Structure 1
Amino acid sequence: MRALTAFPREFADVDEFYWLWIFATSAYGVGDVLTTLTLTWYVPHVAEGNPLMAAAIETFGVSGLIAWKLLAFAGCLAISLRAARTWNDRFTYYLPPVVLTLVGTFFTVYNLRLLLG
């Protein structure tokens, strides 16, 4: 079994890595989760559009939603770290946090529009 190497500082700055994932966490983890929970609990005529998320929320409640979000987040984080440590692939390093940030921002705004409109 090969040991993990340290994060390659010549590849990317550690502060940059943290900020990328702080944005992803804020948009995807906090914004989307809070607006989704607000909509599904307090707005009776709005239902979750993603069938997997709807089933998770219906079956397990908040825990189901958070578990799916954490699973997606952990998978994207693993891909980003693998790209930096093993593949030396800058595109794949940046792609997961950027995609999570964009998706989270889009659905947060969309959910707020549904909530307010």
Structure 2
Amino acid sequence: MNKKTAILGATPNPARYAYLAAERLKSKNHEIVPIGIKKGEVFGAEILDLKEKPHVDEIDTITMYIGPQNQGEWEDYIISLNPKRIIFNPGSENPTFAKKASDNGIETINACTLVMLGSGLY
């Protein structure tokens, strides 16, 4: 089943995990919506400017590649996207934000998107 996934912290840099996640998600036929502060595109999808807080409909999953120290100003925006779940990848875990998301009916998972995809748990 295709899960429309917003990649928060998206980057065109192939050395970054957010880029690898975009590649793996596309290879598994998930629609990606890259959102970040870096300009460019990943796998045919333009990176939307996080600073503009772009509205995106019907997000199933947000996969987080922004460290907790940089998440605060985006929390309300992320919740406003109304995803079914947020995956906090290693280094992005944020118990305070996870509780806030959970209080808004959003499932939160501390896990690695790449591992989840590789093991069929996505």
TM range (shorter): under 0.3
Q: Which has the higher helix share?
A: 1
| TM-score normalised by structure 1 residue count | 0.27
Larger relative CO (CA 8 A, sep 6+): 1 or 2? 1
Question: Larger Rg: 1 or 2?
Answer: 1
